[in-house]
Amino acid sequence: SQWVGMGRELLRSEPVFRAAMEDCDAALKAFVDWSLLEVLASSDAGWLERIDVVQPALFSMQVGLARLWRSWGITPDAVVGHSMGEVAAAHVAGALTLEDAARIICRRSRLLLRTSGQGAMAVTELSLDEAREVLRGVEDRLSVAASNSPRSTVLSGDPHALQQVLETLTQRQVFCRPVKVNVASHSPQMEPLRAELLELLDGLSPRASEVALHSTVLGRVAEGTELTPGYWVRNLREPVLLSQVVESLAGSGPWA
């Protein structure tokens, strides 16, 4: 989802977007030794390989786009975030200050850098229940990372164990495809990071949301005050319940 030149045209042509990105740059600088604006202006593709740069950059794009849309009169009735996208969603919902959101995304991505090159992920044409059945016996090495739709489930964890599962699925003529990442978010490889992330996020000040935040960790609307450090540890380790949340939204809005 990221590319060299991302956001460049909006930075030039949209003052509201540029102001938002400058705010994000300032918030991120408390936690990183690089400049968001310099990264986005660079023609060097090296940053695309650094998860500790990619995730804060994507977070900033999400915040900037939301602020731009609001300046056009487009305001959300609800927000949903997928994995790291929940950090921006929580800020857009009003549950996190920009400074707290920047802290979460920077601390989270910096810890993930430690596991870079050790993990793998794959998308499969399995239901959530089918995926859990496939992983029976290897739960210490693999987990369901995300339920993206009723028939699209992402698996995550040890590359060798994942390859064996994919070979079995291929033999059963079940669609499966590796995802181009080398970090196994939402898998057992995140377990060693839990305590440290909890400590790094101590002192967060979540507050009541102004917009309904449909949590893909909880599978329901979350109160802003629930977004404690423990919540963000779960956001990193537990599966993304996107399919469940989208189904709930589809049945509850004015279009239902």
Report the CATH number that the domain containing residue 166 is assigned in CATH: 3.30.70.250
- Whether residues 137 and 213 fall in one domain: no
In Å, how far are 28, 154, 166, 185, 190 from 239, measured between CA atoms? 27, 9, 19, 9, 12
Contacts (Cβ under 8 Å, ≥6 apart) of 50: 113
Could you report the per-residue pLDDT of 193-209, keeping only the tens digit for each?
A: 999 999 999 999 999 99
Look at residues 131, 125, 122, 104 and name the one whose alpha carbon lies nearest to residue 202. 104
What is the H or E stretch that residue 248 is in?
helix 242-250
Task: Single out the residue in 155, 180, 205 at which a domain terminates.
Answer: 180
Give the type of residue at 66. Answer: A
Say which residue, 137 or 253, is predicted with more confidence: 137
pLDDT-derived band at 46, boundaries 50, 70, 90: confident
Query: pTM score > 0.85 for this model?
Result: yes
d(CA 241, CA 82): 8
Domains identified in the chain, total number: 2
**Is position 3 within any domain?**
no
d(CA 216, CA 9): 31
pLDDT at 256: 53
d(CA 16, CA 11): 9
CB 165, CB 138: distance < 8 Å: yes
Residue 95: give the domain boundaries.
8-115+191-250
